[in-house]
Chains A and B, each alone.
Chain A
Amino acid sequence: MSSKPQALTSVGPMRNFSTNAKKIATELLDANEDLAEFNKRLTEYYQQLADTWANAQKKVNTKMPKIPNDQEKFDSYKRIWIDIFDNDFTELFDSHKFGENYGKLVASELELSKHWEQMVNVMLQSANLPNKKEIDEIYKELHALRKRVSKLESQTKESKIRSK
Chain B
Amino acid sequence: MIEENSSRLDPKLVEEFLKFGKNMIDAPKLVPAPDEINLEVTEHEVAYTEDKVRLLHYKPRTSMQIKTPLIIAYALINRYHILDIHPKKSWVRNLLDQGIDVYMVDWGTPTNMDKYLDLDDYVNGYLDNCVDFVRDESEVDNVSLQGYCTGGTIATVYTSLHPEKVKNFVATAPVIDGWRDTTVVSNLAKHIDVDKMVDSIGNMPPEFMYYCFSILKPFEQGIEKYTNFFRNIENESYVDNFLRVERWLGDTPPIPGELFKQWIRDIYQDNLLIQDKMYVGGKHISLKNITMPIFTQVAVGDHLVSPECSMPLHYAVGSVDKTLRVYPTGHVGMIASSLSQKKVLPELGQWLKEHSELR
**Which of A's residues lie within 8 Å of B, judged by CB?**
69-71, 74, 78, 81-82, 85-86, 89-90, 93-96, 98-100, 102-103, 106-107, 110-111, 113-114, 117, 135-136, 139-140, 142-143, 146-147, 150
Contact B197 A86 (CB under 8 A): no
Could you list 6 A-B pairs, sorted by A, with CB under 8 Å?
A69-B6, A95-B187, A96-B187, A99-B187, A102-B188, A103-B193
CA distance A99 to B217 in the complex (A): 16
Contact A93 B215 (CB under 8 A): yes
- Our pick among B9, B115, B190, B219 for the contact of A85 (Cβ within 8 Å) is B219
CA distance A95 to B221 in the complex (A): 20
Contact B215 A139 (CB under 8 A): no
CA distance A81 to B217 in the complex (A): 13
Residues of A within 8 A of B9 (CB): 69
Q: Which interface residue of A96, A98, A110, A140 has the most chain B CB atoms within 10 A? A: A110
CA distance A94 to B219 in the complex (A): 16
- Our pick among A81, A93, A139 for the contact of B116 (Cβ within 8 Å) is A139
Contact A110 B196 (CB under 8 A): yes
CA distance A144 to B201 in the complex (A): 20
Contact A146 B7 (CB under 8 A): no
Expressed in whole angstroms, the minimum distance between the Cβ of A147 and any Cβ of chain B is 7
CA distance A107 to B193 in the complex (A): 7
Chain B residues within 8 Å of chain A by Cβ, number: 37
CA distance A142 to B115 in the complex (A): 11
Residues of A within 8 A of B6 (CB): 69
Q: Which residues of B, 213-247, contact A by the 8 Å Cβ criterion?
A: 215, 217-220, 223-224
How many A-B residue contacts, CB cutoff 8 Å?
84
- Our pick among B121, B187, B220 for the contact of A98 (Cβ within 8 Å) is B187
Residues of B within 8 A of A136 (CB): 115
Contact A100 B12 (CB under 8 A): no
CA distance A139 to B201 in the complex (A): 14
Contact B200 A86 (CB under 8 A): no
Contact B184 A90 (CB under 8 A): yes
Chain B residue, CB-CB nearest to A105: B191
Contact A142 B113 (CB under 8 A): yes
Other A-B pairs beyond A113-B201, A139-B115, 19, CB < 8 Å: A69-B8, A69-B9, A70-B13, A78-B224, A81-B219, A86-B220, A93-B184, A93-B187, A93-B188, A94-B182, A96-B187, A99-B188, A100-B191, A103-B188, A103-B192, A117-B200, A135-B112, A139-B116, A140-B116
Contact B7 A69 (CB under 8 A): yes
Residues of A within 8 A of B354 (CB): none
CA distance A150 to B6 in the complex (A): 76
- Our pick among B112, B113, B117, B193 for the contact of A110 (Cβ within 8 Å) is B193
- Our pick among B8, B187, B188, B217 for the contact of A86 (Cβ within 8 Å) is B217
Closest 9 CB pairs of A and B: A103-B191, A70-B10, A143-B116, A93-B184, A99-B191, A71-B12, A99-B187, A85-B219, A110-B200
Chain B residue, CB-CB nearest to A107: B193
Expressed in whole angstroms, the minimum distance between the Cβ of A95 and any Cβ of chain B is 8
CA distance A143 to B120 in the complex (A): 12
Contact B121 A147 (CB under 8 A): yes
CA distance A79 to B258 in the complex (A): 43
CA distance A94 to B192 in the complex (A): 14
CA distance A90 to B192 in the complex (A): 18
CA distance A107 to B198 in the complex (A): 11
The answer, yes or no, to whether B137 is at the interface (CB within 8 Å) is no
Known A-B contacts A94-B182, A139-B113, A142-B113; the reply to A70 vs B220 at CB < 8 A is: no
The answer, yes or no, to whether B21 is at the interface (CB within 8 Å) is no
Contact B193 A89 (CB under 8 A): no
Chain A residue, CB-CB nearest to B10: A70
- Our pick among A71, A90, A140 for the contact of B13 (Cβ within 8 Å) is A71
Known A-B contacts A113-B200, A117-B200; the reply to A86 vs B113 at CB < 8 A is: no
CA distance A103 to B12 in the complex (A): 47
Contact B193 A86 (CB under 8 A): no
Expressed in whole angstroms, the minimum distance between the Cβ of B74 and any Cβ of chain A is 22
CA distance A74 to B193 in the complex (A): 44
- Our pick among B116, B183, B187, B196 for the contact of A107 (Cβ within 8 Å) is B196
Contact B190 A99 (CB under 8 A): yes
- Our pick among B125, B190, B223 for the contact of A82 (Cβ within 8 Å) is B223
Chain A residue, CB-CB nearest to B128: A154
Chain A residue, CB-CB nearest to B8: A69
Residues of A within 8 A of B196 (CB): 107, 110-111
Expressed in whole angstroms, the minimum distance between the Cβ of B330 and any Cβ of chain A is 14
Known A-B contacts A86-B217, A86-B218, A94-B182; the reply to A70 vs B191 at CB < 8 A is: no
